Amino acid sequence: MKPTVLAAAAAALAFGAGTAFAADPVFVGHLVDYTGPTSDVGKPYGQGVADALAYINKSGGVAGRQLKFETVDYSYNAPRAISLYKKWVGTDKAVAIQGWGTADTEALVGFQAADKVPNFSASYSGHLTDPAGKGPKGSKPAPYNFFYGPSYSDGCRALVQWAAEDAKKKGIDKPKFVHLGDNHPYPNAPKEGCAAYATELGFQVMPPIQYSLKPGDFKAQCLSLKDSGAHYAFLANTGGSTISLLKSCETVGVSTQFLANVWGMDENALRTAGDAADGVMFVVGGADWKSDAPGMKTVREISKISDASGNEYRPVHYMRGICSAFYMRDAMAAASKMDGGITGPNIKAAMEQMKDHVPAELEGVCIPSTWTAEDHRGTTKVFIYRANSKGGEQSISKAGEAEIPRKAEWLGW
Amino acid sequence: MASTASALIPCGQFKTEYRKDTTIFPTPMSRGFAIAAVLLLCIAPLQIGGVELLSPYQLNILIQIGYYGIAALGLNILVGFTGQISLGHAAFFGFGAFASAWLNNDFGVPVFWAIPLAGLMTTVVGMLFGIPAARIKGLYLAIATFAAQFILEDFFARADWFTGGSSGTIAQSFSIFGFAITGDRQYFYVVLAYMVVLFLLGANLLRSRDGRAFVAVRDHYLSAEIMGINLTKYRVLSFGVAAFYAGVGGALFGHYLSFVSAESFTILLSIQFLGMIIIGGLGSVMGTLMGTAFMVLLPEVVQAFSQTAGNVFPALTDGIAFLKEGAIGLAIVLFLIFEPDGLAHRWKMIKAYWKLYPFSY
């Protein structure tokens, strides 16, 4: 349940030079879900972060200091994440957290602001993008929250934009749009903001349909979806439950065009769902494994940390995990030159100075991102991918890009 | 359900008055030990000359045993003493946690008062869900209380005004006379104080008229009714008392974690509460504490063990999660086979053995 990864120790032995002038290692808490309801996407992402942190240590650490990180599987249980966080900050003197889910990240917002410990979460909830709490939709201040990638709301908005054009092409007048997801902070995060945008673009927004984050038989939900006559359905859960839903809907004979959140579809989910997932449009926030971007060379080196053969195929989440770890590293490196060195407030300050920043070795892998003291929407650029599956042949292909306007009224929403 | 303390009173001890037979502690020695244990716990969180007597990790375990133990005692009063059953104890535990946070966040009730008030609110809810006990028993009652678990769990995820909905709610730190208690070292005393008071109350309850009525309802409800005990009243009351303990335990949990969310209070926790009292000993106040300690410590011990094993046999590392769950399951099964009366019974046997050593019979 708690594989303690003391990569720092191993790396320090192998690379004595790195520790020659190093002070204490820098502690980073690393929260993963390898066994809970979001484990299907939690594994590749968590592995990406862990491999990247180990790679950073192998390459000499941050400003000569090694990272000491503890990877803990909390099974997507928010209270467990809180108690872990308390231990990390209280006992281990963590300066930053590599987080995971929306429920725990949103619950930790207040604690992290008080403790001044930044969280680089895998939750891209729009609520976390408003550091000063000035968003007009009543968002609470989340000064120490950062994430790499487009927010859930912006991802959904990009898909709605795509759907609007698609509807125009198909000649659908007043298309119907519906949100599908569990009653949980993560699927709920983009619900309102995206529905408002869909209405703005001329969609008729139907009442949301609930399906559990835990995979199950979702034929009832698919029948409601069929009855509603929705043309476009946004799937807000992660891959595991989305597979079950797509399969159930295939059985029931639903003809709705599915749109999936950034965690809702990937190569693994596509393989399992098979033809049921054909044509699903989904959000991607970075390069995919087959990309020929220059930074992929580094990614493949990083991948060898946990797969010496270098043959393993990594789903899209792996690359975002790496980006998350590298943005943190760059912020720590910049913080080490400030008064006080690598501390939470300095990491925050360094993050907020990044402008169209891409970590040096990851050119073309991570989308250039900008954070300011008033706006933590790192990027508003969204890659839209299509899942293809015909008779056992599966692939993902880029269908387009969307640049969501950085509207002030969408801050924290 | 072997529960009567008198069954194993060693020979040579004679009671000449009823009063002496119903003391909280059977012997002056046991009272001395209990007081010494509390005093020992009082110094446990101290740092003497910069040296911690207990690490933060150990302290955290003790606090867990505290709040779970309080809730488990409630369930033991319901199951062990009154002979009812509840599969919804975790929901009451959760209700207490949410109620205390709600009273404090929305009405500004100081946490000091919010905790007992949350206990009272939970009592009302518990009595409400205990009403079916007036009519049904055994497995049917189990399923009826199961409903409480589901209804409340769903309520937690939807009632935004009360629980913050699926996002959960923040619970403020405990404060007393404007002095905020934030660290584990201070919070330990809060839990300890509640524990001592509630365990004494629990032990005392059994010496009272109502406590005897609970036991009578358990042992033979028909005879109890003929003796003039109002069955409905005592069954529902027992649910109320159980819910009070669960509510206070939950409130302590909430303010300790400073965050309450619906996912903490699943049916699994309800089953764990049952596990605590069955392993500790149904109908035993001290047994409840032992059972809770057992259930809290077992995963930690197994984890420490499997980590050591993982270092020796790296192949095991991946299986640690499975090992842990498997070992817990096995321990419970073995317990039920070899020690159906619980840890409390085993403890008495050990005491009897040494008291009579070397001439045990």
pLDDT tens by residue, chain B, 361 residues:
344 444 455 566 677 887 777 788 877 888 888 899 999 999 888 888 777 888 888 888 899 999 999 999 999 999 999 999 999 999 999 999 999 999 999 999 999 999 999 999 999 999 999 998 888 888 999 999 999 999 999 999 889 999 988 888 888 888 877 777 777 888 999 999 999 999 999 999 988 999 999 999 999 999 999 999 999 999 999 999 999 999 999 999 999 988 898 888 989 899 999 989 998 999 999 999 999 999 888 878 877 777 777 677 766 666 666 676 777 788 778 888 888 888 888 888 888 788 777 776 5
Name the residue of chain A whose CA is nearest to B264's CA: A79
Residues in chain B: 361
- For an interface test with B, which of A1, A74, A192 has the most B Cβ atoms less than 10 Å from its Cβ? A1
Tokens 């790496």 found at: A322
User: Between chain A and chain B, how many beta carbons pairs sit less than 8 Å apart?
Assistant: 60
- CATH fourth-level superfamily of A7-150+291-362: Response regulator (3.40.50.2300)
- Domains of chain A, by residue range, sit at 7-150+291-362, 152-288+380-410
User: Does B320 lie at the interface with A, CB-CB under 8 angstroms?
Assistant: yes
SS (H, E, C) A89-111: HHCCCCCEEECCCHHHHHHHHHH
Share of chain A above pLDDT 70, in %: 94
Q: Where are the beta strands (DSSP E) in A161-208?
A: 176-181, 204-205
Asked if residues A218 and A252 have their Cβ atoms less than 8 Å apart, the reply is no
Say whether A78 and B303 touch across the interface (CB within 8 A).
Answer: no
- Please provide residue A67's backbone torsions phi and psi, each rounded to the nearest 5 degrees: -95, 135
B335 to chain A, minimum CA–CA distance in Å? 24
- Please provide residue A146's backbone torsions phi and psi, each rounded to the nearest 5 degrees: -135, 150
Q: What CA–CA distance (Å, rounded) separates A378 from B67?
A: 42
Overall fold of domain B57-355: ABC transporter involved in vitamin B12 uptake, BtuC (1.10.3470)
B96 to chain A, minimum CA–CA distance in Å? 16
Nearest CB neighbour to A3, from listed B60, B264, B317: B317
Q: What is the pTM of this model?
A: 0.82
Smallest CA-to-CA distance from B92 within B248, B289, B258 is with: B248
Name the residue of chain A whose CA is nearest to B319's CA: A1
| Max intra-chain CA distance, chain B | 65
Q: What CA–CA distance (Å, rounded) separates A264 from B245?
A: 42
Tens digit of each residue's pLDDT (9 = 90 or more) over B226-259: 999 999 999 999 999 999 999 999 999 999 988 8
* A7-150+291-362 and A152-288+380-410 in the same fold: yes
Residues of A at the B interface, defined by Cβ within 8 angstroms:
1-4, 35, 73, 77-79, 82-83, 87, 90-91, 103, 106-107, 110-111, 183-185, 188
Q: What CA–CA distance (Å, rounded) separates B356 from A155?
A: 75
Strands B51-52 and B47-48: antiparallel
Say whether A87 and B257 touch across the interface (CB within 8 A).
Answer: no
Q: Name beta bridge partners: B338.
A: none
| Chain A residues within an 8 Å CB radius of B101 | none
Nearest CB neighbour to A110, from listed B60, B170, B320: B170
A395 to chain B, minimum CA–CA distance in Å? 31
Nearest CB neighbour to B303, from listed A1, A91, A111: A1
The predicted structure's pLDDT at residue A14? 42
User: Does B146 lie at the interface with A, CB-CB under 8 angstroms?
Assistant: no
What tokens does B233 get? 């009243």
Q: Where is average pLDDT lowest: A252-256, A352-356, B277-281, B318-322?
A: B318-322
Q: Which CATH number describes the domain made up of A152-288+380-410?
A: 3.40.50.2300
What tokens does A209 get? 């349909």
Tens digit of each residue's pLDDT (9 = 90 or more) over B142-158: 999 999 999 999 999 88
A119 to chain B, minimum CA–CA distance in Å? 17
A238 to chain B, minimum CA–CA distance in Å? 17
Q: What CA–CA distance (Å, rounded) separates A98 from A49?
A: 8
Burial profile B133-153: b = 16 or more Cβ within 10 angstroms, e = fewer: bbeebeeebbebbbebbeebb
- Domains of chain B, by residue range, sit at 57-355
| Chain B residues within an 8 Å CB radius of A82 | 257-259
User: Does B100 lie at the interface with A, CB-CB under 8 angstroms?
Assistant: no
- For an interface test with B, which of A82, A112, A186 has the most B Cβ atoms less than 10 Å from its Cβ? A82
